[in-house]
Structure 1
Amino acid sequence: MRLRAMLGSLPAMSVVGVDEGGAVDTVDFNRIPKPFTPAGRREYADLLDRLSGAVRSRDLAEVGRVATRSALMNQPLRYKRLLEPVREICRDAGGLGVAVGHSGTALGVLLDAADPAYPHRATAVARACGDLAGGVAVYRTLSFPNAVSHGGRTVG
């Protein structure tokens, strides 16, 4: 496997998430043939193109839409029983979208950390996720707005 391209850096986001529990051997999971149709492969390629454009334009709303669609497409491969309830939490809180560990057990709501309503949204999502699954984790991304890609490595 090789790195295809450096996507770049996004504005700061948070993921408020839950873990469904259990364990997945990622190496074994990735060895399983994926039953993607040609249309499914094209859609994944389109999602990658859309994500690349969203990163370039720093469009967090599009990142959320792409992540959500990718999560839904992954359901037949690695079912997340909490995906629909987490999507509902995201909609209710005005989140950007949902993200899942495609070969794991985690999923969460993407939030724009620069949004003036962020503290309210993050609190609402954390409470709802806590009610849903017990434990909640909050992850914050790092942003490197002046970083540029040079031959497979990012400097900034």
Structure 2
Amino acid sequence: MDVIYNPFGSASRPAVVFRGRAAAPGTCGELVQGTLQGEPFLITCPVDLWSEVSVELSHYGEPRADLDKSCRAARLTLQYLGLEYACVSIKRVSVLPESKGMGSSTADIAATCLATARAVGRELEPAVIAKIAAQIEPSDGQMFPGIMIINHLTGEPKKYLGQAPPLDLVVADPGGSVDTIIFNSRKDLASKNFQKEPMVKQAIELVARGLLTEDWEMMGRGATISAQANQVVLPKPHLALWRQWAAELRALGVLVAHSGTVMGMILRPGGVDPREAADFVRRKKPEWTVWHTSMISGGLR
């Protein structure tokens, strides 16, 4: 916790400002997402791309923030802590694109929750942060350590699957955007998820077993099955082509943002260099936005 004095209080009564910082990783969509017996869930896929947030709290002055979801996260965190501050100022530095399925909103919200708590000398458990996040919008779950199964609508953690494998990813965004809240409000979503449940069940078993046994090829097969199953919910027009390129590059499999636009390719250890793989995609589709990054275990810092 940093405590600073800021002159926006008054000349005779300087405002004491409490400052906290935190950072949260983004995601490359999800390894698996769908429903099991009607209950929604996802398997997290945190990546080494971050949102960093600083929060300042004071009893004097005017709020300074243009981030509506983060403001709500800060207020809900203070409410959880039983505190109230007139002035909540939030600053964010993020490399995560918005409305693409890379967990940008969840990263902002989660980092804001923890930064707010740290401003008053407190820490928050991931389950508390996830519950606060879910009050604002469905959560991608990257505040939890390792790789987790969570209910993304409630933020409830279901099962820890282990640490992230040491694998590189190529991420491509062909364009467009998806609003997470609108997507999860679709009237046909429950029926579409029910339709793909058999494939999702197979996918979750393969991913969970692959992570447990460090069989990354098995994990990749499971992620690919989930990506294909999601075509009945949110079709990716280029998924067949993406899978073809993954085969040409001998990738372990593909994954998608199940409620976003991006597609990921899980590269084989010791195989094609991620920079070369990203350049391969750029040559094929120069109009796409392409990154390369790596899978990491979740958790805030």
TM-score by length of 2: 0.43
Does residue 125 (structure 1) correspond to residue 277 (structure 2)? The answer is: yes
1:18 aligns with 2:18: no
Of 67, 76, 82, which residue of structure 1 is paired with 2:232?
76
Greater per-residue strand proportion = 2
Unpaired runs of 5+ in structure 2? 1-153
- Hey, what does 1:139 align to over in structure 2? 293
How far off its partner does 1:37 sit? 7.3
Question: In 2, are the aligned partners of 1:10 and 1:60 still within 8 Å (CA)?
Answer: no
Does the 8 A contact of 1:13 with 1:141 survive in 2?
Answer: yes
- Answer 1 or 2: which has greater helix percent: 1
How many angstroms apart in 2 are the aligned matches of 1:14 and 1:64?
Answer: 12
* 2:217 counterpart of 1:55: no
Equivalent pair of 2:167/2:266 in contact (CA under 8 Å): yes
CA offset digits 1:72-96 (Å, max 9, x no partner): 1101211111111111110001000
Distance in 2 between the 1:35 and 1:54 partners? 29
* Pairing partner for 1:5 from 159, 172, 184: 159
Task: Report the count of equivalent residues.
Answer: 141
- Listed one character per residue, the Cα deviations across residues 16-41 of structure 1 (whole Å, up to 9, x for unaligned) are 02102111111221222232476732
1:67 partnered with 2:201:
no
Higher relative contact order (CA 8 A, sep 6+): 1
Structure 1 residue runs of 5 or longer lacking an equivalent are 145-153
After superposition, give the CA deviation of every residue in 1:34-74 in whole Å (9 maximum; x if it has no partner).
Answer: 32476732331232122111111111101110111111110
Change (3 A) 1:3 1:82: same
1:92 equivalenced with 2:248 (yes/no)? yes
- Deviation, 1:143, is 5.6
The aligned residue for residue 150 of structure 1 is none
Aligned mates of 1:78, 1:60 — CA distance in 2: 26
Contact 1:12-1:142 within 8 A present in 2 as well: yes
TM-score by length of 1: 0.79
The higher radius of gyration belongs to 2
C-alpha RMSD over aligned residues: 2.2
Q: Residue type of the partner of 2:220? A: G
Cα distance in structure 2, aligned partners of 1:129 and 1:118:
13
Seen in structure 2, the aligned counterparts of structure 1 residues 37 and 80 have a Cα distance that, compared at 3 Å, is closer
Seq. identity, %: 26
| Structure-2 separation of matches of 1:50 and 1:117 | 22
